[in-house]
């Protein structure tokens, strides 16, 4: 039967397209192929990734809180109570990720090793090592520890910025001290903040099971690359209900490099107070969308002031990265190193413009409150730390430290309190506190912001 030329041409074209499609189709990922070539499995990838995750156990000595009467020297002498502090030993379990096999660096959560007297690391092959602390960053809840060992396997870093909701991920850790355990799930959400878990929040949310003991462990993609450090869960009684959070690997890597180099994170300061752009503010500023962080105040002499930023400016980008809210701006600036130049894109009077700001080391204003007034002895006051949950939302002076049993402690001051007024006078700095205290006669009236609430303290 004769086939018309047009039909032959069409058949040839279809065959060519089919051949090209088959040739271009990617081969099935090797980590999803079983031994017989047809059974899906993650085993090949995990064989490479598991040695990079370690179990961490710590021991620490904690002073047992006792009745205030026992702190009274007269009471102790009268009842012949020995002057020996009551202490108990505490143990905790967690996980860590080997990030440098040659130098033995391990990345974990700060809360896993915080205040530990002894840190033990157990490798996948069963070897045990004592670790030393290289550096910690409580505001992001990360820490770097180090062991002296040979034959280590490090997990390669992945690009957490490339993650998308729906990507498959695997969590590796030591839940409930059971030993190394693997769970899988997907990325449920990105950029989670405002949870009050850490000072700087930009979490990856996942439904891969994360339980107590998983803290500091690895969240990896299907290529076995580290995309997050498992940190926290939300659930009743601390159990897993499919809502877990991990610190993005790009943020963790930035922090890690500073901890290894300096032993601490040297955060920069922009020098502004900010808030989210609400729909009402968006309409007031003539914005198309309620997106960005609006500057509510510029601190005189700060990098922002020198660069020409003004109250009412709406920050929408930092170094090309979009800023959706105040938390995004706080994270972006807080992760920049001192001396770095930031390109900040703002909207002012309906027009976009870019301002270059040289990030400066943040003010370390600190003062012993006892030197201001003996009734406040035992407390240390200073500027509100950028990582504080109320940073950028209120003006005042933060209580940075309070010694247990001191006059300040007995008066009711606690670490993290924000003093917004003294004797009905607004305070923005330690100098303001000094002036307000001098003008008080009978006692001190402090207006305190604590968590989501507020209270007054009367100190006589």
**Given the residues 141, 221, 373, 417, the one annotated as active site:** 141
What 3 state SS string does 91-146 have? Answer: EEEEEEEEEECCCCEEEECHHHHCCCCEEEEECCCCCEEECEEEEEECCCCEEEEE
Q: Give 385's DSSP letter.
A: P
**Given the residues 92, 209, 215, 421, the one annotated as active site:** 215
111 counts as catalytic: yes
Sequence-separated (6 or more) residues with CB below 8 Å from residue 178: 213
The three-point CA angle 110-146-221 to 5° equals 65
- Reduced to 3 states (helix: H, G, I; strand: E, B; else coil), residue 249 is helix
Q: Give 358's DSSP letter.
A: E
Query: Do residues 277 and 314 lie in contact, with contact meaning Cβ atoms separated by under 8 Å?
Result: yes
CA distance 249 to 223: 14
End-to-end CA distance of the chain: 111
Query: Do residues 331 and 201 lie in contact, with contact meaning Cβ atoms separated by under 8 Å?
Result: yes
How many residues are there in the chain?
Answer: 460
Instruction: List Cα–Cα distances, 371 to 260, 350, 375, 397, 445, in angstroms.
Output: 36, 49, 10, 16, 18
Residue 329 has a CB neighbour count (10 Å cut-off) of 25
**Given the residues 111, 193, 373, 417, the one annotated as active site:** 111
For strands 53-63 and 128-130, give the pairing: unpaired
Q: Give 64's DSSP letter.
A: P
442 counts as catalytic: no
Both tokens of 193, joined, read 């903040």
From the centroid of its chain, how far is CA 174? 21
CA distance 90 to 93: 11
Query: Do residues 118 and 90 lie in contact, with contact meaning Cβ atoms separated by under 8 Å?
Result: no
Residue 21 has a CB neighbour count (10 Å cut-off) of 9
CA distance 315 to 326: 9
DSSP calls for 290-327: S-SEEEEEE-TTSHHHHHT--TT-EEEEETTEE--SHH
CA distance 119 to 249: 23
328 counts as catalytic: no
CA distance 195 to 112: 20
Query: Do residues 450 and 396 lie in contact, with contact meaning Cβ atoms separated by under 8 Å?
Result: no
CA distance 156 to 224: 8
Catalytic residue list:
111, 141, 215
């Amino acid at each position: 039967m004769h086939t018309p030329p047009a039909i032959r041409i069409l058949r040839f074209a279809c065959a060519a397209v089919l051949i090209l499609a088959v040739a271009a189709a990617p081969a099935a990922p090797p980590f999803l192929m079983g031994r017989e070539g047809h059974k899906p499995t993650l085993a090949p990838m995990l064989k490479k990734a598991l040695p990079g995750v370690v179990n961490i156990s710590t021991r620490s000595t904690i002073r047992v809180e006792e009745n205030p009467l026992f702190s009274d020297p007269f009471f102790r002498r009268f009842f012949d109570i020995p002057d020996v502090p009551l202490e108990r030993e505490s143990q905790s379990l967690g996980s860590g990720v080997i990030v440098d096999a040659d130098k033995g660096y391990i990345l974990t959560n700060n809360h896993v090793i915080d205040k530990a007297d002894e840190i033990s690391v157990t490798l996948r092959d069963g070897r045990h090592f004592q670790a030393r602390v290289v550096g910690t960053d409580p505001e992001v809840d990360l820490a770097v520890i180090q062991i002296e060992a040979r034959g280590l396997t490090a997990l390669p870093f992945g690009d957490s910025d490339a993650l998308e909701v729906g990507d498959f991920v695997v969590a590796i850790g030591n839940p409930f001290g059971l030993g190394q355990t693997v769970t899988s799930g997907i990325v449920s959400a990105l950029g989670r903040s405002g949870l009050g878990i850490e000072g700087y929040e930009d979490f990856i949310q996942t439904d891969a099971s994360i339980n107590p003991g998983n803290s500091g462990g690895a969240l990896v993609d299907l290529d076995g690359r580290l995309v997050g450090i498992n940190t926290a869960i939300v659930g009743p009684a601390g159990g897993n209900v499919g809502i877990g959070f991990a610190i993005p690997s790009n943020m963790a890597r930035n922090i890690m490099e500073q901890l290894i180099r300096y032993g601490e994170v040297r955060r920069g300061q922009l020098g502004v107070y900010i808030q989210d752009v609400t729909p009402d503010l968006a309409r007031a500023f003539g914005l198309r969308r309620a997106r960005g962080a609006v500057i509510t105040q510029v601190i005189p002499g700060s990098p922002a002031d020198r660069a020409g930023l003004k109250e009412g400016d709406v920050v929408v980008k930092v170094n090309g990265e979009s800023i959706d809210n105040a938390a995004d701006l706080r994270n972006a600036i807080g992760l920049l190193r001192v001396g770095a130049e930031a390109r900040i894109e703002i909207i002012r009077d309906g027009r976009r413009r870019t301002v270059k700001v040289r990030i400066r080391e943040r003010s370390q204003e600190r003062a012993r409150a006892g030197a201001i007034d003996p009734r406040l002895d035992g407390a240390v006051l200073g500027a509100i730390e950028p990582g504080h949950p109320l940073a950028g939302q209120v003006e005042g002076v933060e209580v940075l430290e309070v010694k247990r049993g001191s006059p300040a402690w007995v008066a009711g001051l606690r670490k993290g309190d924000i003093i917004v007024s003294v004797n009905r006078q607004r305070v923005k700095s330690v100098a303001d506190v000094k002036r307000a205290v001098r003008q008080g006669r009978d006692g001190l009236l402090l207006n305190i912001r604590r968590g989501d609430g507020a209270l007054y303290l009367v100190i006589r």
